[in-house]
Structure 1
Amino acid sequence: MKKNFVLFLTFNSFLALNAQNVEEKIAAKACECLEKSSKITEDVFRDCLTKPMGELILTDKDPKVRESINTVEGIQGMILRVQGIISKKCPNLVPEVIENKDNIFYSESKDKNAQNSYIIAKDFMRQNNYKMAVESFQLALKSDPNFVLALDDIAVSYRQLNDYDNAIKYYKKSLEIYPEGNFALMNIGVVYTLKSDFKTAIGYYEKLIQYHPDNAEGYFGAGKNYFMLKDDEKALDNIFIAHIIYTNENSEYAKDSEQLLGAIYQKMKSENKEDLFKKIAEKNNVKIE
């Protein structure tokens, strides 16, 4: 049964990719609009995305494409997928604020002592000596308390030592400095999942989706935690989007999303909810025969 479902998902992933045609058209129109703008702000970016979206979807001959935006979730999912395509089709036209923040916050420390201690700490991490790594990261942070890379990596080290409370403490400090930090948002979600605090984990994964809508990890993490809370519908909405992104990127993680979809399918089938599974699949532009 499990093997059959893998084949089923692979086939429907192909159908999902075909359903991306309208999203590709929207992204192309958005890129054309952005090229005409002298200064690309987040407002201009949003306008160039939403205008062609309304025009192309409402005039599409396929009724299922029009039906895909009949819900708030459908609209949000469409916007997020199109944003992901735009970031690949015309990355130089994405607002500078979005593009440059990682370069600013995920950079070396300007304090030489902090940077030297950080380099030593990373060496300890490579040796799996996380206790010594923590000590060196502490020295780095003493010299530069706003050193985001050191905050993120000391949190990783604490997590490896199963000290989840300190890991969370430092991820939160990192997010106070850089709220959009994808590394901290993704990994604090992981730690809360390990602590079985699934609701809090979802909150951070949804922030990751908000700031990085083309990052499949946000959807996958949220979906996994919704599944743990037995909210199968929200789990599916998120995992389908993650699976589409992973598949489009030819990511090896598509196997993980496919496996989780298989688990949800088997659970819902055993509960006589197979029709609901298919309905949610179709809402996410995945047609199931």
Structure 2
Amino acid sequence: MKKLFLLFALVGCYNANSQTLEEKIAAKACSCLQKSKEINEEIYRNCLTNSMSEVVLNDKDAKVREGISTVEGIKSLLQKSDATIGKTCPDLVPKASENKSDIYYSDSKNKEAQNAYQTAKGFMRNKNYKSAIENFQIALKQDPNFVLALDDMAVCYRQLEDYDNAVKYYKKSLDIYPEGEFALMNIGVAYTLKSDFNSAVSYYEKLIHYQPDNAEGYFGAGKSYFALNNDEKALNDIFIAHRIYTADKSDYTKDTEIIMSAIYQKMVKENKEDIFKKIAAENNIAIE
């Protein structure tokens, strides 16, 4: 399903007498980067994650599972591989840029747009969503690329149960900022409310791609797959979300436990309890 998911179950230890995993990954990633005429953050990230998956899949060591069976293990290998790439082919590493989130989730530089936005937020706080929408529209006329206004406009439409317009404005936001966490997360919710679970999954998958450490992508995808009766994919994602929530000591672990229980009961009825236990073991989830 996702390249990074493979790392959960497969990445592991290495032979001290040969290249380390991160060295193997760095070599492949550098080769991948050399093929690109122009290197940006997305190309770099794809070369890194694709190389990690390839190295893991081709590793014949039976102990390869042991090294990385946790979110922390995945993060560690990502960081080590990233650092090793920086040493192996430093000229091919894109220069650090300003945090995109800070750029796009910021106030408008257009004074009139910002004033209209603040007025809209006031109406929004008072749950006067129609008036809020009118003022967000004024803001967007002054600054069409105002991501915060687009996202909040979509929220207002969602509150009014106008899911089509909610999706429309989340998409406008994503046209400007494709990695936008807020829009990716909430367009998935909007599609879920429309019972369009296939579309919901596609956006949750994008969130996972851009933010592999964010439990929300896995949680949303897992719920959507469950609604689509794809229990095995649902279980994989819910287990990953559960692991991340547990590591973060989040109260959302209660929600993942409820869904895990529902999937378990369904799979038991379908004589798939062994598959449930197998997927749980692959994710280091203890079944009592």
2:66 alignment partner in structure 1: 65
Does 1:82 pair with 2:105?
no
**How far apart, in 2, do the equivalents of 1:223 and 1:98 lie?**
33
- CA distance 1:97–1:196, change in 2 (3 Å): farther
1:227 alignment partner in structure 2: 226
- CA distance 1:160–1:47, change in 2 (3 Å): closer
Is the Cα–Cα contact under 8 Å of residues 117 and 135 in structure 2 kept in the other structure? yes
**How far apart, in 2, do the equivalents of 1:47 and 1:197 lie?**
32
Is the Cα–Cα contact under 8 Å of residues 45 and 95 in structure 1 kept in the other structure? no
- CA distance 1:54–1:287, change in 2 (3 Å): farther
2:192 alignment partner in structure 1: 193
Which amino acid in the other structure matches residue 221 of structure 2?
A: A
Within-5 A mapping of 1:113-124: 113-124=112-123
Displacement of 1:97:
5.7
Give the root-mean-square deviation of aligned CA atoms. Answer: 4.2
Displacement of 1:270:
1.9
Is the Cα–Cα contact under 8 Å of residues 154 and 170 in structure 2 kept in the other structure? yes
Query: Comparing both chains, which one has the higher relative contact order based on Cα–Cα distances under 8 Å and sequence gaps of 6 or more?
Result: 1
Q: Which moves more between the two structures, 201-210 or 277-286? A: 277-286
Identity %: 59
Is the Cα–Cα contact under 8 Å of residues 71 and 213 in structure 2 kept in the other structure? no
- CA distance 1:241–1:106, change in 2 (3 Å): same
Is the Cα–Cα contact under 8 Å of residues 71 and 244 in structure 2 kept in the other structure? no
1:261 alignment partner in structure 2: 260
Displacement of 1:96:
6.7
Structure 2: give runs of 5+ residues left out of the alignment: 1-8, 14-21, 27-39, 87-92
Q: Deviations over 1:26-53 (max 9, x none)?
A: xxx79xx9xxxxxx967777788867x9
2:164 alignment partner in structure 1: 165
- CA distance 1:257–1:116, change in 2 (3 Å): same
Is the Cα–Cα contact under 8 Å of residues 42 and 95 in structure 1 kept in the other structure? no
Displacement of 1:266:
1.2
Does 1:272 pair with 2:264?
no
**How far apart, in 2, do the equivalents of 1:190 and 1:98 lie?**
30
Does the residue aligned with 1:189 lie in a helix, a strand or coil? helix
2:32 alignment partner in structure 1: none
- CA distance 1:276–1:122, change in 2 (3 Å): same
Provide TM-score, normalisation by structure 2: 0.73
Does the residue aligned with 2:99 lie in a helix, a strand or coil? helix
**How far apart, in 1, do the equivalents of 2:116 and 2:265 lie?**
50
1:246 alignment partner in structure 2: 245
1:8 alignment partner in structure 2: none
